[in-house]
Structure formats: structure tokens, C-alpha cells
Amino acid sequence: MYNRKQVKLSAKESLKGNLGLAIGVLLVLSLIIVASSYIPFGSLILTGVLSVGLAIVMLGIVRGTAVEFKDLFGGFNNFGTTCIAGILVSVFTFLWSLLFVIPGIVKSYSYAMTSYILADHPEMTAQEAIDASRKMMDGHKMDLFVLQLSFFWWYLLCGITFGIAFLYVGPYVSAATAKFYDTIKGDTVVIDNSETDTIA
């Protein structure tokens, strides 16, 4: 059963002893994304791949399993699928946004668990992971929105400290999102019209 306060508390606890790793991973990921933006379609190609790598790291942290810095690049082990997933999510979100901003925002929440699903289920195709995320987030989109909104004062602190506070806030938000996924992943997800699977 999802409980926002419990998710945040668990995320905060999981960072004890792992904060340095989380900070390093987020800093390197940010640098790579910024650098890739100077290459045509670079960030579009790498965002999905690195998002899966971040999911692998953060899921390891919140689950208390062994995880290393190199796991940030775990998405490259399944490059085709993770790259396509990132591109499809961007394209789908953009197309929905053409209908007005709100539909695009809503759909971005529908696709929000795609990277975590691929981190747990690399055998899935990009479309299967997106469909699974849509099914998983059915009834939970507002939960994730409120969870993110609950960090408002933390984001304000980042602004006041000229970004310095992000060294803690970034890992905290990332851990909370990973814990959110772990909390709701027991939902049954539809992979295609003839088959169902349970994210366990």
C-alpha cells in the first residue's frame, strides 16, 4: 500500500552510507547529458540509456543490494532497447503536448516508470516497458505528482543556496522516486492484448 510519508522516510534512510555514490552518479549523469546536448540528437539518444542506468543504481540503493558507480552505465548493456524507449517516451510526450500542455504532462507521468521497469526487466521491448508503465501508473499519476510537489521547499532551498543543496536534494528525490516504483510495482501490467505479466 502506497504511503507518501513512508516512501520519503525509507528513501532518506536508504541514503545513509550511499549518499556519496548517489551524488557522484547524478553529477556525472548531468555532465554527460549537458555534453551530449552539443551533439545533434545526442541527449535524445543517451537520455533513455542513462535513465535506466540511474534507475539501476537507485533501485539498488533503496533495496539495500550491492550497487556500484559503474552501474550508471548498465543501460548500455541493452542499448538498443533503452535508447528506443527514451526516444519513444520523448516523442509520445511531445505529440500529446501538441494537444495542449496538460495532456503532455499527464502522459509524462504515465511513462514515468519505463526506466525502472527496464532496469528490472531488460528482456522487455521498449514498447512493452512503456505499456507496462502506463498500466502501472493507472491510478498513481496523482500520487507521483504529489510526491514531487512535496519537495517544493527542498527545491526552493536549492535556489537559495545557488544549487549547493541539490547535492542532497537530487539523491533524495531520486531515491524517493525509486522507492515509489518499488511500492506500486506489484500492480498487474498488460504487455499486449493477449498476454499479461506481473511486475514483481
Write out pLDDT tens, residues 70-116.
Answer: 999 999 999 999 999 999 999 999 999 888 788 889 999 999 999 99
Residue 189: phi and psi, rounded to 5, are: -120, 145
Bridge partners of residue 189, in order along the sequence: 197
Per the CB < 8 A criterion, the answer to whether 4 and 147 are in contact is yes
Residue 192 lies in a domain: no
CA–CA gap between residue 165 and residue 145 (Å, rounded): 22
Residue 25 lies in a domain: yes
Other Cβ atoms closer than 10 A to 103 = 14
| HSE, side-chain direction, 13 A CA sphere, residue 176 | 23
Q: How far is CA 141 from CA 14, 25, 148, 173, 181, in A?
A: 24, 26, 11, 16, 12
For the segment 47-75, what is each residue's pLDDT rounded down to a tens digit? Answer: 999 999 999 999 999 999 999 999 999 99
Residue 60 lies in a domain: yes
Give me the number of domains the chain comprises: 1
**pLDDT at residue 194, rounded to an integer:** 40
Residue 169 lies in a domain: yes
Residue 198 lies in a domain: no
CA–CA gap between residue 52 and residue 184 (Å, rounded): 18
Domain that holds residue 51: 4-187
Residue 48 lies in a domain: yes
Closest CA to 127 of 187, 191, 79: 191
**pLDDT at residue 26, rounded to an integer:** 97
For the segment 160-172, what is each residue's pLDDT rounded down to a tens digit? Answer: 999 999 999 999 9
CA–CA gap between residue 171 and residue 158 (Å, rounded): 13
Residue 154 lies in a domain: yes
Measure the CA angle with vertex 32, ends 41 and 71; round to 5°.
Answer: 115
For the segment 25-46, what is each residue's pLDDT rounded down to a tens digit? Answer: 999 999 999 999 999 999 999 9
**pLDDT at residue 199, rounded to an integer:** 46
Residue 22 lies in a domain: yes
